[in-house]
Amino acid sequence: MVDITASNREGWSRHAYRAWVRGKGSPQAVAEELKAAPWRKLEPFCSVLGDPEGRKVANLLGSNGKAAVSLALLGADVAVVDLSAENARYAMELAEAAGVKLRYLVADVMNLPAEQAPADCDLVLMELGILHWFTDLGRFFKVAAAMLKPGGRMIVRDFHPVKNKLLRWKDGRMTADGDYFDESLRAGAVPYSVFLTNEERAEVPEVYTRGWTMGDIVTAVADAGLVIRSLKEEKGAVQRWVFPEEAPAGTEERMPGIYTLTADRIAP
Ligand SMILES: C[S@@+](CC[C@H](N)C(=O)[O-])C[C@H]1O[C@@H](n2cnc3c(N)ncnc32)[C@H](O)[C@@H]1O
């Protein structure tokens, strides 16, 4: 049996820093972009986020820290939880260059010591490549919900299961011949490997993911005791980047590649 967390820690920790520098720019250059437009990275959350000023935020699986630093620039008190020490290095340099404070916990979010876990948060935010790293979705949402204060909000924006599990693209054609209900673990290349040379890529271990259906996701959020406020499925040019280049023109107008689910911990 694969130890998915150990494999994923390895995969996400080898060469991530240099991949982000190549793919996104140096932390100093990115800090200038974020300072000039702190809302840009958070644009998709505008309607559900509210004003970050003075709010306590846990950014789970926050990777290179772009969203976390954007929130901090807008006045939030932000903690990131992420497995990768290389991501942490990039994010902390980014925060320093942006002139903001950031707490970055290099840890498995499912096994955080109680004294380290973010608590009493106004907001738990996570985006773009989150839920498929977990094999127990019910427990994951309970962990996330426990970080919220009563009245706090959880926002998860992630790749749509229909796009990830069902659809396939080949030679300019799209087919729906994946298995939406597939529960198996899948091995693959870590996403940042597109920024690596062939030699570097060969040194990065494969990572493992487990896809979830929309029913799994909604049910696990409800089971965690959260009240679902909205489930927005994206449409149009804004999400064209999610689909492969070979996807037929107009795909992004006809199906969702990303969804945003917003749920609250209600005050007793
Ligand atoms: C695709 S990235 C998330 C994208 C990121 N939020 C962004 O917008 O750039 C996935 C992240 O999850 C982290 N990760 C995977 N499994 C984890 C776990 N069990 N605990 C904490 N972090 C984990 C990886 O280190 C990686 O940084």
Give residue-wise pLDDT tens across range 31-61: 999 999 999 999 999 999 999 999 999 999 9
Task: Supply the pLDDT for residue 73.
Answer: 98
Q: Tens of pLDDT along 59-93?
A: 999 999 999 999 999 999 999 999 999 999 999 99
pLDDT for residue 170: 82
Distance between start and end Cα atoms, the chain: 41
Question: Running DSSP on this structure, what letter comes out for residue 206?
Answer: P
DSSP-derived letter for residue 191 is G
- Identify the H or E element spanning 10: helix 4-13
- Nearest alpha carbon to residue 219 among 203, 207, 231, 204: 231
pLDDT of residue 47: 93
Residue from 7, 42, 63, 87 to probe ligand 1 pocket by mutation (most atoms less than 8 Å from CB): 63
pLDDT tens profile 114-171: 999 999 999 999 999 999 999 999 999 999 999 999 999 999 999 999 999 999 988 8
Least confident of 1-5, 23-27, 33-37, 217-221: 1-5
Domain range for residue 146?
4-264
CATH number at residue 194: 3.40.50.150
Distance CA(50)–CA(264), nearest Å, equals: 13
Q: How far apart are CA 243 and CA 257, in angstroms?
A: 7
Distance CA 104, CA 91 (A): 8
Helix (H) or strand (E) holding 202: helix 198-202
Q: Which sign, positive or negative, has the C-alpha torsion 234, 236, 240, 246?
A: positive
Q: Yes or no: say if 58 and 124 are a contact pair by the CB < 8 Å rule.
A: yes
Q: Tell me how far CA of residue 164 lies from CA of 32, 42, 79, 127, 195, in angstroms.
A: 33, 23, 29, 15, 22
How many angstroms separate the CA atoms of 144 and 221, rounded? 10
Q: How far is the CA of 63 from the centre of ligand 1 (A)?
A: 5
Sign of torsion, CA 215 220 226 232? negative
127 lines ligand 1 (CB under 6 A): yes
12 lines ligand 1 (CB under 6 A): yes
- The DSSP string of 84-108 is -HHHHHHHHHHHHHHT---EEEES-
Q: Give the total number of structural domains in the chain.
A: 1
Residues 173-220: pLDDT tens digits?
Answer: 889 999 999 999 999 999 999 999 999 999 999 999 999 999 999 999
Nearest CA to ligand 1 atom 26: 63
Task: Give the ranges where 27-151 is alpha helix by DSSP (H).
Answer: 27-36, 46-49, 66-73, 85-98, 137-146
pLDDT of residue 107: 97
Q: Which pLDDT score, from 0 to 100, does residue 127 have?
A: 97
CA 212, CA 261: separation in Å to the nearest integer? 14
CA of 144 to the centre of ligand 1 (A): 14
Question: How far is ligand 1, taken at its centre, from the CA of residue 129, in Å?
Answer: 7
1 — pLDDT class (breaks 50, 70, 90): low
